[in-house]
Structure 1
Amino acid sequence: MTSTLGTVRNAARISRQPTFPFSSTEAFTDGIYAIAATLLVLDLRPPNVEPGDLASTLGDEWFLFLVYGLGFLQMAGGWSILRRLRTWAPTVDYYVVLLTLLIIAPFALEPFTLALLSESRGNADDFATALQVAAGALLASLAAYIATFEYLHRRKFFRDDLDPDIFTLAHRISKIIWLLPALTLILAPFLGTWAAVPLLIHLVLMLMPIDAMPRTPVGPS
């Protein structure tokens, strides 16, 4: 038994993990984002209206469209930062794959968390709870992202030719990326709908084009 545990412990050591292209996980992770993003629109159905009332009925559904936009923005931001990691760290090991799964797992819950937001319209307490669930799921994903970034950095999986200034900026941002969603989680019971503002700002910032990849010369040198 002791020998078996020792063998398992030895095999699980970080230093013994083989490396492989990060791109080998791309189809799976992108597929999860694509499916989850598609599921977001299932609640968007044409309303049953009397002739001439379509415009006013659609106007009454503004909250549903807003929630969908929020969900799609979050999905796009999550996909964007994961794509950036894949570009900056072309080679990874098994532990990076596990951390990547932890990053995308909360996004698979996105249709559920946004459905909670949609159904909670009209009740301040329920909306605050739904907002906390959405912020909490995002925080779980961000915690895995922070761990992944640090692991890649410590294991020296990042490319050597990345722009040092931009990479340093991205590294610093990765340490505080959880702040705005945490504000939403804390303030939701007190501010209600307004507590979503920090979360919205965070989702917009996730789409910022921060790319440390070396520039490829265009045209004759």
Structure 2
Amino acid sequence: MKDAPQRKPARYATGRMEAFSDGVFAIAITLLVLEISVPATAEDNLWNAVLHQWPSYLAYLVSFSTVGALWLGHAAITDYLRTADVWVLRLNLLVLFVVSFLPFPTRLLAESIGHEGAERVACTIYGCTLAVGLLLLHVLWQYALREQLVRTDASEEDVTVLTAKLTPGMAGYLVMILLGLFLPVAAVLGYLVIAVIYLVPFRTLRRRVHTATEPPRPAAS
């Protein structure tokens, strides 16, 4: 009696996952601005009321930058995927769960800055949300590598760079979460710095600077 053929694991094209993910990122990043408002009774001194909302502007800037950084990382990962399986789809949903949840801790943070005690709790919840989002993105990438779902034409250098790019942020978030217990506003600025590090292509900038500082080559005779 012949052995039954082993069933191959289901594989899916990544197009629908990418389109759905981009939609969730776009909605989440749009909802952030809806959390900015001024009191309905601010007509008498509107300028002062607008300036008084600086915690909302700060929280919006940090969250917008963070969602943008997560989207860039997510876009890089999905671009390297040649296919997806059931666990990639589910891990991707968890990433989107955190992204779509982010407007809530953003509002919580904006409303709590300046209130001792409350701002520490809000900053901790905010930092944990950011850390979990990056952690899930890292897990998604590591799973894709382990299951060999990455395109075969991806160079080892590119894979190493993306892996290294996702890893240091976790340590930074952990440090900022601890700092937030004592200096919440400083921790929020730290979250912004981490997001900027992900947003700015420092590797490209270093290459440009290196090229610009190289001495001119002698003209060929």
Counterpart for residue 206 of structure 1:
198
- Cα distance per residue 1:97-141 (max 9 Å; x no partner): 111111121111111101111110221221111111011112212
> Which TM-score applies when normalising by structure 2?
0.79
Corresponding letter in the other structure for 2:53: E
- Cα distance per residue 1:5-61 (max 9 Å; x no partner): xxxxxx9xxx842212112212321222122222212222366323xx444332222
CA distance in 1, matches of 2:187, 2:195: 14
For residues 176 and 46 of structure 1, do their structure 2 counterparts lie closer, same or farther at Cα, with a shift above 3 Å needed? closer
Counterpart for residue 36 of structure 1:
28
Matches within 5 A, 1:10-49: 16-45=8-37, 48-49=42-43
Unaligned runs of 5+ in 1: 1-10, 212-221
**Contact kept in structure 1, 2:127 and 2:177, CA below 8 Å:** yes
1:181 aligns with 2:173: yes
Corresponding letter in the other structure for 1:49: E
Corresponding letter in the other structure for 1:121: I
Matches within 5 A, 1:51-130: 53-130=45-122
- Cα distance per residue 1:125-171 (max 9 Å; x no partner): 21111111011112212221121111111122212222432321222
Unaligned runs of 5+ in 2: 1-5, 204-221
Percent of paired sites with the same residue:
25
1:171 aligns with 2:163: yes
Moved more, 146-155 or 167-176: 167-176
RMSD: 2.2
SS at match of 2:68: helix
For residues 67 and 160 of structure 1, do their structure 2 counterparts lie closer, same or farther at Cα, with a shift above 3 Å needed? same
In the TM superposition, what is the alpha-carbon distance from 1:173 to its structure 2 partner?
3.0
**Contact kept in structure 2, 1:89 and 1:157, CA below 8 Å:** yes
1:139 aligns with 2:124: no
**Contact kept in structure 2, 1:183 and 1:198, CA below 8 Å:** no
In the TM superposition, what is the alpha-carbon distance from 1:73 to its structure 2 partner?
1.1
CA distance in 2, matches of 1:69, 1:208: 15
